Amino acid sequence: MSRHLHFFKKYYEGSSPFLRGAEKNNTITRVDFFKKHLFLARGVGLMVMLFIANFGFSQSYNMNGTNITDCSGFFYDSGGGAGNYSASESFTTTICSDATSGTHVQLVFSAVDLADGDMLCFFDGMDASAPALSCSTDFAPGDPFIIQATAANATGCLTITFNSDGSGEAAGWQADMNCIPSCQTILADLVSSDPIVSPPDTGYIDICQGERVFFNGAGIYPQNGIVYQHSDLTSTFEWDFGDGTIGLGPNVSHIYNELGGYIAQLTITDQFGCTNTNLITQRVRVSPNPTFAILGNLPTQICAGDTIGLNAVVNATDSAFLVGVMPNEASFPTAGVRSDSLALPDGSGAYETSIGFSNFTPGQVLTNTSDLVSICVVMEHSWMRDLEISLQCPDGTSIILHDHPGNVGGEVYLGEPNDSDNALNPIPGVGYEYCWTPDATNGTWIEYANANTPQTLPPGNYNSFEPMSNFLGCPLNGEWTIHVEDLWEHDNGFIFEWSIAFNPSLYPNIETFTPQIVNYHWVSNPSIFYQTNDSIAAAPQNAGTASYTFEIEDEFGCAYDTSLFITVLPPNHPDCFSCPEPEQNLQDTSICDGEVLQIDAESTTSLGNQDITFEIFPNYAIGNANHPPANPYSSLLEISTINPATITNAQA
What pLDDT score does 133 carry? 93
CATH number of the domain to which 430 belongs: 2.60.120
The secondary structure of residue 452, as a DSSP letter, is H
Query: Residue 424's CB: how many other CB atoms inside 10 A?
Result: 7
Q: Are 372 and 475 in contact (CB under 8 A)?
A: no
Q: Are 213 and 256 in contact (CB under 8 A)?
A: yes
Q: Is residue 597 part of a domain?
A: no
**If pLDDT is split at 50, 70 and 90, which confidence band does 76 have?**
very high
Q: How far apart are CA 222 and CA 532, in angstroms?
A: 59
Q: For residue range 345-402, what is the model confidence (pLDDT) as tens digits?
A: 655 667 888 887 877 887 888 999 999 999 999 999 988 888 899 999 988 899 999 9
Q: Is residue 594 part of a domain?
A: no
What pLDDT score does 497 carry? 87
Of 444, 479, 501, which marks where a domain is finished? Answer: 501
Handedness of CA 412, 416, 422, 426 (dihedral sign): negative
Q: Is residue 27 part of a domain?
A: no
What pLDDT score does 343 carry? 63
Q: Is residue 323 part of a domain?
A: yes
Q: What is the mean pLDDT of residues 40-53?
A: 34
Q: What is the mean pLDDT of residues 267-278?
A: 91
Q: What is the mean pLDDT of residues 110-124?
A: 92
CATH number of the domain to which 543 belongs: 2.60.40.10
Domain that holds residue 82: 3-16+32-285
Main-chain phi, psi angles of 505, to 5 degrees = -70, -15
Q: Is 43 helix (H, G, I), strand (E, B) or coil?
A: coil
What pLDDT score does 613 carry? 72
Please indicate, yes or no, whether residues 250 and 123 belong to a single structural domain of this protein.
yes
Please indicate, yes or no, whether residues 238 and 328 belong to a single structural domain of this protein.
no
Please indicate, yes or no, whether residues 405 and 391 belong to a single structural domain of this protein.
yes
Q: Are 409 and 445 in contact (CB under 8 A)?
A: no
Main-chain phi, psi angles of 233, to 5 degrees = -70, -25
Of 482, 501, 520, which marks where a domain is finished? Answer: 501
E strand residue ranges, 164-318: 172-180, 187-194, 204-207, 211-220, 236-240, 246-248, 251-256, 260-269, 282-286, 291-294, 301-303, 308-314
In whole numbers, what is the pLDDT of the chain averaged over residues?
Answer: 83
42, 249, 381, 618 from 263: Cα distances, Å? 8, 18, 32, 38
Q: How far apart are CA 179 and CA 193, in angstroms?
A: 34
Q: What is the mean pLDDT of residues 264-268?
A: 93
pLDDT at 187 over 90: yes
Q: What is the DSSP string of 319-332?
A: TTSSEEEE---EE-
pLDDT at 528 over 70: yes
What pLDDT score does 21 carry? 30
| C-alpha count within 13 angstroms, C-beta hemisphere, residue 414 | 26
What pLDDT score does 297 carry? 87
Please indicate, yes or no, whether residues 91 and 187 belong to a single structural domain of this protein.
yes
pLDDT at 561 over 70: yes
Looking at the structure of the chain, the number of domains it has is 3
Q: Is residue 21 part of a domain?
A: no
Q: Are 493 and 350 in contact (CB under 8 A)?
A: no
Q: Are 635 and 616 in contact (CB under 8 A)?
A: yes
The secondary structure of residue 648, as a DSSP letter, is S
Please indicate, yes or no, whether residues 312 and 242 belong to a single structural domain of this protein.
no
Q: Enumerate residues 6+ apart whose C-beta is below 8 A from 486.
A: 344, 345, 346, 347, 348, 349, 350, 386, 387, 492, 493
pLDDT at 46 over 50: no
Q: Which amino acid is at 170?
A: A
Q: For residue range 392-437, what is the model confidence (pLDDT) as tens digits?
A: 998 889 999 999 887 677 889 999 988 777 666 778 889 999 999 9
Please indicate, yes or no, whether residues 312 and 230 belong to a single structural domain of this protein.
no
pLDDT at 643 over 70: no
Please indicate, yes or no, whether residues 193 and 225 belong to a single structural domain of this protein.
yes
Please indicate, yes or no, whether residues 48 and 186 belong to a single structural domain of this protein.
yes
**Which comes out higher in pLDDT, residue 598 or 459?**
459
What pLDDT score does 126 carry? 96
What pLDDT score does 11 carry? 39
pLDDT at 43 over 70: no
Please indicate, yes or no, whether residues 303 and 203 belong to a single structural domain of this protein.
no
Q: For residue range 596-637, what is the model confidence (pLDDT) as tens digits?
A: 877 776 655 555 566 777 666 676 677 777 788 878 877 776
Please indicate, yes or no, whether residues 478 and 394 belong to a single structural domain of this protein.
yes
Q: How far apart are CA 342 and CA 355, in angstroms?
A: 16
Q: For residue range 474-500, what is the model confidence (pLDDT) as tens digits?
A: 988 888 999 998 887 777 788 888 999
Query: Residue 562's CB: how many other CB atoms inside 10 A?
Result: 17
Q: What is the mean pLDDT of residues 101-105?
A: 90
pLDDT at 82 over 50: yes
The gap from C-alpha 138 to its chain's centroid, in whole angstroms, comes to: 27
Q: What is the mean pLDDT of residues 102-126?
A: 92
pLDDT at 450 over 50: yes
Q: Which amino acid is at 200?
A: P
Please indicate, yes or no, whether residues 385 and 442 belong to a single structural domain of this protein.
yes
Share of the chain above pLDDT 90, in %: 50
Please indicate, yes or no, whether residues 441 and 534 belong to a single structural domain of this protein.
no
Q: Are 431 and 378 in contact (CB under 8 A)?
A: yes
What pLDDT score does 583 carry? 61
pLDDT at 592 over 80: yes
What pLDDT score does 364 carry? 86
What pLDDT score does 29 carry? 29
Predicted TM-score (pTM) of this structure: 0.72
Q: Is residue 301 part of a domain?
A: yes
Q: How far apart are CA 129 and CA 155, in angstroms?
A: 14
**If pLDDT is split at 50, 70 and 90, which confidence band does 584 have?**
low
CATH number of the domain to which 160 belongs: 2.60.120.290
Q: Is residue 485 part of a domain?
A: yes
Share of the chain above pLDDT 70, in %: 82
Q: How far apart are CA 458 and CA 51, in angstroms?
A: 37
Q: For residue range 279-314, what is the model confidence (pLDDT) as tens digits?
A: 888 999 999 999 999 988 888 899 999 999 999 999
Q: How far apart are CA 221 and CA 321, in angstroms?
A: 60
Q: Is residue 24 part of a domain?
A: no
pLDDT at 54 over 60: no
What pLDDT score does 22 carry? 32
